[in-house]
Amino acid sequence: MTIANLDRVVEFQPMLSGDFQVLLQSGTQLRMSRTYRRRIRDLFGNSI
């Protein structure tokens, strides 16, 4: 499991599998499973 500071998230990019690629300000790319999609959508709205 990876923990990221949401203040550093630049973009969520959907992947074909339903997961997301998370781009951080530093350029680091992380993978977020679809399991967390609902929680993140609650925080960021339907923009992801």
Position 48 pLDDT exceeds 80: no
pLDDT at 45 over 80: no
| CA nearest neighbour of 26 among 47, 43, 1, 5 | 5
Domain assignments of the chain as residue spans, ordered by start:
6-47
pTM: 0.75
Q: What is the mean pLDDT of the chain?
A: 87
Residue 47 confidence class, pLDDT cut points 50, 70, 90: low
How do residues 19-33 score in pLDDT, each as one tens digit? 999 999 999 999 998
**Coil/strand/helix, residue 12:** strand
